Amino acid sequence: MKHALITLGLALSLCQIATAQAQSTADKIAAALELDYRTEAERARDRNRRPGRALAYIGLEDDMKVFEFGPGGGWYTKILAPVLRDRGELIVGYPEEWLADMGDLRSAPEYDKVREVAMDMGWDEDELVYTFEEIDFESKKLDMFLNIRNYHNLSLDDRKAFNQAVFKALKPGGTFVIIDHTRRHMQPDDYENWRREDPVAVLAEVQQAGFELEKFSDMFYRPDDTLEYEVGRRTVTGNTDRFFFVFRKPK
């Protein structure tokens, strides 16, 4: 009986520790959303982008090693950097001149442990896609790789190599997260949909690289987005329908 009580007590303690750790990450995300270096424009996007819910859904923990590809102006970076600063690691990948667009964020104390990977890539103005001399994330044994609103920028020629490079950089059991603006299935390219992506094609391409689809969310389903217009148009911007996939590298 004594041993059973000890075992039960140990199990309860472990559950409490696990719960505390989960709460700790959630608390850090909530605190990051309130940091002064987030602008009013960035805060205004929280209603639509739902960062707290999205990061909880993908299973972010504060001790993870996370790669953020294509941080843009650093909207997600400002949240991820302080959450991962003490116990985990955040790596951002972009060309050096594009990283400069994050401005003062790079000198913020919350950013001081972020590792930057200056990727050898550019932009094709005619085809409206990234160009790569080499796809190298300079990272190994990642817990998570984030490609948020960037998959549509990959050319058909580069997608296979990109997904294979992500697969190589992740540790077994690691996750590959993709969120992007939705395009109708099999719709040909045109100016109105160039920043949209076919989710069926993404499913096929990523699984062909060896990943397994773990789950998907309708968190960003928008019934009033007719999928007709460029995502920057006034009638749709900030309210686009987006697919949300979480893939896993098999153990």
* Domains of the chain, CATH where assigned: 2-248 (3.40.50.150)
Q: How many residues does the chain have?
A: 251
What is residue 209's predicted lDDT score, i.e. its pLDDT? Answer: 98
What is residue 3's predicted lDDT score, i.e. its pLDDT? Answer: 53
Pull the structure tokens for residue 77: 């970076």
Residue 246, H or E segment: strand 242-248
Residue-wise pLDDT tens digits, 66-92: 999 999 999 999 999 999 999 999 999
Distance CA 198, CA 179 (A): 11
Distance, C-alpha 17 to centroid of its chain: 27
Q: Please choose, from the candidates 151, 181, 148, the residue with its C-alpha nearest in 3D space to the C-alpha of residue 163.
A: 151
Asked whether the predicted pLDDT for residue 22 surpasses 90, the reply is no
Query: 179: Cβ–Cβ under 8 A, 6 or more apart, which residues?
Result: 54, 147, 148, 149, 220, 242, 243, 244, 245
Arithmetic mean of pLDDT, 228-243:
94
Distance CA 243, CA 179 (A): 6
Q: Please choose, from the candidates 144, 142, 135, 49, the residue with its C-alpha nearest in 3D space to the C-alpha of residue 94.
A: 135
What is residue 24's predicted lDDT score, i.e. its pLDDT? Answer: 87
Other C-beta atoms within 10 Å of 8: how many? Answer: 10
Residue-wise pLDDT tens digits, 154-188: 999 999 999 999 999 999 999 999 999 999 999 99
Asked whether the predicted pLDDT for residue 6 surpasses 50, the reply is no
Q: Please choose, from the candidates 74, 73, 75, 120, the residue with its C-alpha nearest in 3D space to the C-alpha of residue 96.
A: 120
